[in-house]
Amino acid sequence: MIERNWIKVILTPLSWLYGLITSIRNLLYDTQVLRSERPSQFTLSVGNITVGGTGKTPMTEYLVRLLSAKYATAILSRGYGRKTKGFVLAQPKLTAEDIGDEPLQYFEKFGDSVTVAVCEKRVIGAREIASLKPDVKLLLLDDAFQHRAIIQDLKLVLTDYARPFYKDLPFPAGRLRETRSGAKRADAIIVTKCPSTLTEEEKIQIITKIRRYGKNGTPVFFSFIRYGEAVCYDGSRVKLNNVKLVAGIANPATFTAHVGQHCNVIEEIIYPDHHNYSTDDLKGLIKYLKNDTFVVTTEKDMVKLKPLVEEAGVTAQFVYIPIVVDFKNETSNFDLWIRQKIQNIL
């Protein structure tokens, strides 16, 4: 711990420099020296200030379920981890290598009910969607808070309860993509992955700390992760006991804790975020795997592992655990706030 603190002290001046650069960039956009473009669709951005692991994917899925029945909706992502470039529209037979793991998850989950596309430059992506899908009125921008070349009508910033942005520093001493003051651009801040034991008193303390950096009156919501029943890769429901835990996500702590509470974890294998699984990876996962043991993964890992698992004929021993966002007693307030914000423009 002492060594880590010394490293942080050494890197802090670089964090100041990085923070200064990002602040200058934001100032240039704020003063319109650098121009932003407004797309034809209403844009709802789901982003963060912290690098990775705040729960953007399940939040985006929550918004799809909430809004897509009323508004023709598209999800536009960068498509981290893909091997393609430029604009790609999700369609059958494309893989995570074509569009990225999270967009593939959206496409497989929602099918034809929403449009899913990827593009590094969100402005270009929005134009392409407008051309190909002119009926789309609502554009969900996945992880685009710092992508200021596109105007975002409504900006949601997520911060992990266990790693709040107000306790962190910009890269490289910390995990912030910009300074804490970036929270002033947010229209709402959502504290994600909250523990079930969270009290109203603690909520007030967190809100007070967040509002040191956000705009006056910016609403703060608290969300929780709700895990579903384990699902076999072939779609059947299974009962877990002995498991080999595998995850390739930015912050697996919540997932590993949940699995550890409900299963006997005989081995835990953690890969980097957006890990592209190989045949050799699969061979290592099933080597010495007993008949009474399942390999349990996140849903994000499942979309990349599934083709390999199916080809090897071992779907019966691979399961994933789906998750959804739950606002608990704040659900109606959050849903109403979102709907009213959109209705005021659309």
Q: Show binding-site residues for ATP.
A: 50-57
Residue type, 125: G
Residues 6+ apart with CB under 8 A from 272: 248
C-beta separation of 143 from 36 below 8 A: no
How far apart CA 195 and CA 225 sit, in angstroms, is: 9
Contacts of 302 (CB under 8 A, 6+ apart): 233, 318, 320
Rounded Cα distance, 327 and 325, in Å: 7
DSSP state of 112: G
**39, 130 in Cβ contact below 8 A?**
yes
Strand ranges for the chain from DSSP E = 42-48, 73-77, 88-89, 115-118, 138-142, 154-160, 188-192, 220-222, 224-227, 231-232, 242-247, 264-270, 293-298, 318-321, 323-326
Chain-centre distance for alpha carbon 225: 13
Q: Identify the H or E element spanning 201.
A: helix 200-210
What residues are designated binding site? 50-57
Quote the tokens at residue 131: 């051309």
